[in-house]
């Protein structure tokens, strides 16, 4: 809490005491003495508040440091320790996130305009008081944030379909969940062996291979450049700013959730995980009916499965025939939308690897992918980099992590390995 807010709260408390005294029906000389003393304290606070507000406003106009510095949350130190210490207390997965109230902004465009040209605005100061972590920036109020947060299935593959764990009360703290070590050397139940025991026989020992799976929110940022003239007309600039920043963030995280290699501040994607089962294709740079059948054979279908394909695969599917010579992917000529492929929806994805590469055709159950949200989308604006060109760099950033819950394929009772992530590989 800033010094100004502390003083204002103290003045409010004095005002309440003054009101109680003034309303006393039996107001006496002692009350008069107390009233005069409290009034003097209140007047002194007013003058002190005016001095501090002037200094803060003048400093903001002179320095205007971007990203806008923010005050760390009260639990920032705990968050730091949680990153470094695996044994530190972690928040519950279903912890409730503290809402960010709107101090009066009508849209993201107005917020960015004030952050750039009017940092002394009381509404900006109010958002700064809420804190946004070590990276700085200004929290976007929940009331106007949905346009940057909502992700439709046609815009992203993973987030609308994956298991998403909310930020919780300590957004950047690790999420640690117990999971069974279900690698190919174990079984569906983490290595637990079950025997039927004869009367008087010894009970067998079991060894459950329990492990921890960890998600650590990592920062992802997007920025655009707008002219100062356009930004001053923030009502017109709002749609552009929202669309560009939102689209960039959606694309960046969706690509990593699919293809990220993990480490170096990036999530672990499906195609780089140990849980992925690879199926060699029959022909190089091609996709055949036999390939699709082989992928389906390896799928652990515990949930809704989808096909995710590179656009160059679509022509192959449209001409693909089964062993009886029938087209396997019939289109809805009236609606213009393809039907399901082997009973599962097909999602065209420009972020998928090129035709003929590992993952150009992916059959998966997205619910087995876990996304851990961290600090919500925050905004910063800076004129320094392009000051001579009268342009402003607008930056949006958030923290997030993602990765498959499984650490390997699952060996079922039939002795074969299955996975919710199966991809077509090179021959």
Query: pLDDT, tens digit, for every residue of 118-146?
Result: 888 888 888 876 654 444 577 777 777 66
| Tally of CB atoms within 10 A around 51 | 11
Q: Sorting pLDDT into bands at 50, 70 and 90, what band is 350?
A: very high
In whole angstroms, how far apart are CA 158 and each of 153, 196, 255? Answer: 8, 43, 9
Mean per-residue pLDDT for 357-380?
Answer: 91
Residues 384 and 254 in one domain: yes
Mean per-residue pLDDT for 95-117?
Answer: 77
Residues 52 and 119 in one domain: no
Bond from prior residue into 67 cis (ω within 30 degrees of 0): yes
Q: Evaluate whether residue 395 is within a structural domain.
A: yes
Residues 37 and 152 in one domain: no
Q: Sorting pLDDT into bands at 50, 70 and 90, what band is 388?
A: low
Q: Evaluate whether residue 250 is within a structural domain.
A: yes
Q: Taking 80 as the threshold, does the pLDDT of residue 311 lie above it?
A: yes
Q: Could you tell me how far CA 151 lies from the centroid of its own chain?
A: 11
Q: Evaluate whether residue 258 is within a structural domain.
A: yes
Maximum average pLDDT range among 236-250, 272-286, 325-339: 272-286
Q: Sorting pLDDT into bands at 50, 70 and 90, what band is 147?
A: low
Q: Taking 80 as the threshold, does the pLDDT of residue 334 lie above it?
A: no
pTM: 0.64
Angle CA 294–296–298, to nearest 5: 75
Q: φ, ψ for residue 421 (rounded to 5)?
A: -130, 110
Q: Residue 94 and residue 27: Cα distance in Å, rounded?
A: 54
Q: Taking 50 as the threshold, does the pLDDT of residue 62 lie above it?
A: no
With b for 16 or more beta-carbon neighbours within 10 A and e for fewer, the 276-315 pattern comes to bbbbebeeeeebebebbebbbebbbeeeebbbbbbeebbe
Residue 421: name the closest of 304, 313, 300, 303 by CA: 300
Mean per-residue pLDDT for 67-82?
Answer: 34
Q: Taking 60 as the threshold, does the pLDDT of residue 209 lie above it?
A: no
Higher pLDDT, 405 or 365: 365
CA-based end-to-end distance of the chain? 62
Q: Residue 100 and residue 415: Cα distance in Å, rounded?
A: 51
Residues 44 and 139 in one domain: no
Residues 21 and 147 in one domain: no
Maximum average pLDDT range among 52-66, 204-218, 388-402: 388-402
Residues 259 and 130 in one domain: yes
Mean per-residue pLDDT for 47-55?
Answer: 79
Residue 47's pLDDT is 85
Q: Sorting pLDDT into bands at 50, 70 and 90, what band is 159?
A: very high
Q: Sorting pLDDT into bands at 50, 70 and 90, what band is 226?
A: confident
The count of domains in the chain is: 2
Q: Evaluate whether residue 301 is within a structural domain.
A: no
Residues 48 and 110 in one domain: no
Q: Taking 60 as the threshold, does the pLDDT of residue 181 lie above it?
A: no
With b for 16 or more beta-carbon neighbours within 10 A and e for fewer, the 360-394 pattern comes to bbbbbbbebbbbbbbbbbbbbbbbeeeeeeebbbb
Q: Give the range of the structural domain holding residue 55, as residue numbers without chain letter.
A: 17-63
Residues 48 and 122 in one domain: no
Q: Residue 331 and residue 158: Cα distance in Å, rounded?
A: 25
Residues 107 and 227 in one domain: yes
In whole angstroms, how far apart are CA 325 and each of 40, 107, 289? Answer: 95, 56, 11
Q: Evaluate whether residue 383 is within a structural domain.
A: yes
Q: Evaluate whether residue 7 is within a structural domain.
A: no
Higher pLDDT, 179 or 72: 179
Maximum average pLDDT range among 151-165, 232-246, 315-329: 315-329
Q: Taking 50 as the threshold, does the pLDDT of residue 289 lie above it?
A: yes
Residues 223 and 262 in one domain: yes
Q: Evaluate whether residue 320 is within a structural domain.
A: no
Residues 45 and 81 in one domain: no
Higher pLDDT, 207 or 324: 324
Residues 72 and 137 in one domain: yes
Residue 68's pLDDT is 35
Q: Evaluate whether residue 342 is within a structural domain.
A: no
Bridge-based pairing of strands 306-309 and 361-364 is antiparallel
In whole angstroms, how far apart are CA 241 and each of 108, 111, 153, 229, 392? Answer: 8, 11, 21, 14, 12
Residue 87's pLDDT is 38
Q: What tokens does 291 get? A: 């390939």
Q: Sorting pLDDT into bands at 50, 70 and 90, what band is 199?
A: low
Percent of the chain at pLDDT > 70 equals 72
134 burial (CB, 10 Å; 0-12 / 13-18 / 19+) is: middle
Residue 295's pLDDT is 97
Q: Taking 80 as the threshold, does the pLDDT of residue 180 lie above it?
A: no
Mean per-residue pLDDT for 255-283?
Answer: 93
Q: Taking 90 as the threshold, does the pLDDT of residue 292 lie above it?
A: yes
Q: Residue 14 and residue 278: Cα distance in Å, rounded?
A: 71
Residue 182's pLDDT is 52
């Amino acid at each position: 809490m800033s010094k100004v807010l502390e003083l204002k709260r103290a003045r409010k408390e004095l005002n309440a005491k003054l009101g109680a005294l003034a309303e006393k029906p039996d107001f006496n000389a002692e009350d008069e003495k107390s009233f005069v003393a409290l009034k003097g304290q209140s007047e002194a606070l007013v003058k002190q508040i005016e001095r501090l507000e002037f200094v803060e406003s003048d400093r903001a106009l002179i320095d205007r440091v971007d990203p806008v510095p923010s005050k760390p949350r009260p639990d920032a130190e705990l968050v730091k320790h949680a990153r470094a210490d695996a044994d530190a207390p972690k928040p519950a997965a279903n912890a409730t996130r503290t809402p960010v109230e709107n101090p009066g902004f009508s849209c993201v465009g107005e917020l960015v305009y004030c952050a750039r040209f009017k940092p002394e605005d009381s509404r900006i100061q109010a958002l700064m008081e809420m804190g946004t972590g070590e990276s700085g920036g200004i929290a976007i109020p929940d009331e106007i944030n949905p346009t940057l947060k909502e992700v439709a299935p046609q815009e992203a593959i993973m987030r609308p379909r994956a298991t998403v764990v909310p930020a919780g009360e300590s957004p950047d703290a690790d999420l640690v969940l117990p999971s069974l070590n279900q690698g190919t050397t174990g079984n569906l139940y983490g290595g637990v062996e079950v025997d039927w025991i004869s009367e008087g026989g010894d009970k067998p020992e079991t060894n459950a291979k329990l492990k921890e799976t960890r998600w650590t929110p990592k920062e992802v940022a997007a920025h655009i450049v707008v002219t100062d003239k356009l930004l001053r007309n923030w009502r017109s600039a709002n749609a552009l700013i929202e669309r560009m920043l939102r689209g960039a963030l959606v694309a960046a995280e969706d690509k990593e959730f699919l293809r990220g290699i993990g480490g170096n501040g990036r999530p672990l994607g499906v195609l780089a995980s140990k849980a992925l089962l690879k199926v060699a294709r029959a022909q190089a740079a091609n996709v055949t009916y036999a390939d699709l059948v082989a992928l389906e054979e390896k799928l652990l279908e515990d949930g809704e499965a989808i096909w995710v394909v590179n656009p160059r695969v679509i022509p192959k599917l449209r001409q693909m025939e089964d062993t009886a010579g029938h087209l396997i992917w019939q289109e809805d000529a009236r609606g213009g939308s393809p039907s399901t492929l082997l009973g599962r929806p097909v999602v065209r994805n420009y972020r998928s690897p090129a035709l003929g590469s590992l993952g150009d055709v992916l059959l998966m159950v997205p619910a087995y992918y876990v996304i851990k949200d961290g600090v919500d989308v925050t905004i910063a604006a800076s004129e320094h980099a392009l000051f001579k060109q009268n342009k402003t760099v607008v930056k949006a950033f958030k923290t997030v992590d993602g990765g498959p819950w499984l650490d390997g394929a699952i060996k079922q009772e039939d002795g074969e390995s299955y996975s919710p992530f199966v991809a077509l590989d090179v021959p």
